[in-house]
Amino acid sequence: MTPAKDVRVLVVDDNALILDLLMKGLAPHCDVRAAADGADALVKILDDPPDLILCDYRMPGFDGRHLYEKIRARQQSRHIPLIFLASRSDIEERLRPLSEGVEEFIAKPFFLKDLVRRTKKVIDRLHLEKLQNRAVRPGVIQGRLEEMSILDLMQSLEMGQKSCRLTVRHNGDVCELFFSSGQCADAKLGAAEGEEAVYQVVRWPAGEFEIDFNSAPGRATISRTTTGLLMEALRLMDEGQRDNATEGVEAKG
């Protein structure tokens, strides 16, 4: 999948080993840059504002909370979303009240795979917003599944609480999914409707998509949340792969 290189992420951590680890983990998904501490980060933010800041909380001198307060006090940087890395106790006792502009609190220690997954959700949403701002037709954006998969698109629409029609095309097939405040309310793919249509379209590896924010669902055929739909879709895909593997072993036997 082509990464959303138009989304710039500034990673801030005074531990060089952790900073390098985070940089390598996020590099396939965005234009990632580094800052060695809070003071270095503030200079870079004011000079060339990123789209997202991933910041450690405990740093000597100029810590994460100090950086948060500085960027929120400036007009050119106050809108930038931020993800905090901190211990569970720091999150609950010191950081939880900082709700404005904070996308995630990720507890340390963490698994890199989990951190990248959670950060990528925010990156995908920001990428979608950039596509919307560049749309040729008002309220309509287009792209390819090689850039954002169905899973990424649905998660981004849910995070952004968007109402729209998502049309996906692949090898002559067309699927329409309708969202209301981020929840997938209806879907149609040929004779398949509702959840069954969703479970089929999430398997498409390539194709084109169009999101029309001027359209809204006219009916509701799906009761699960968008997250619930995607979890069930992944379960069915995993189940199908296991069945195929079992059949392959039996055929060899």
pLDDT in tens, the chain (253 residues): 444 578 999 999 999 999 999 999 999 999 999 999 999 999 999 999 999 999 998 888 888 888 989 998 988 888 999 999 988 888 787 777 766 778 888 998 889 999 999 999 999 999 988 888 887 788 899 989 988 899 999 999 998 899 999 999 999 999 999 999 999 999 999 999 999 999 999 999 999 999 999 988 889 999 999 999 999 999 998 887 765 655 554 555 5
CATH number of the domain bearing residue 67:
3.40.50.2300
Q: Are residues 120 and 142 located together in one domain of the fold?
A: no
* Nearest of 87, 46, 47, 88 to residue 67 by alpha carbon: 46
Domain count of the fold of the chain: 2
Of 129, 164, 183, which residue sits at a domain end? 129
Of 96, 129, 162, which residue sits at a domain end? 129
251 within some domain: no
Which pLDDT belongs to residue 248? 55
Taken in order 184, 189, 191, 197, the sign of the CA dihedral is negative
Distance of alpha carbon 104 from the chain centroid: 12
67 within some domain: yes
160 within some domain: yes
Q: Are residues 88 and 142 located together in one domain of the fold?
A: no
Q: Are residues 141 and 74 located together in one domain of the fold?
A: no
64 and 86 Cβ atoms separated by less than 8 Å: yes
Domain that holds residue 207: 137-241
185 within some domain: yes
Number of helical H runs and strand E runs in the chain: 8, 11
Tell me which H or E stretch contains 247. Answer: helix 226-252
30 within some domain: yes
Q: Residue 87 burial by CB count (10 A; 0-12/13-18/19+): exposed, middle or buried? A: middle
49 within some domain: yes
Q: Are residues 21 and 56 located together in one domain of the fold?
A: yes
Q: Are residues 114 and 34 located together in one domain of the fold?
A: yes
Q: Which amino acid makes up residue 58? A: R
Q: Are residues 32 and 125 located together in one domain of the fold?
A: yes
Taken in order 185, 186, 187, 191, the sign of the CA dihedral is positive
CA-CA distance, 154 to 211, in Å (whole number)? 11
Strand 208-212 versus strand 164-170 pairing type: antiparallel
Which pLDDT belongs to residue 21? 95
108 and 86 Cβ atoms separated by less than 8 Å: yes
86 and 13 Cβ atoms separated by less than 8 Å: no
Which pLDDT belongs to residue 1? 40
Query: What is the pTM for the complete model shown?
Result: 0.77
Which pLDDT belongs to residue 212? 95
Of 78, 94, 129, which residue sits at a domain end? 129
249 within some domain: no
Q: Are residues 91 and 147 located together in one domain of the fold?
A: no
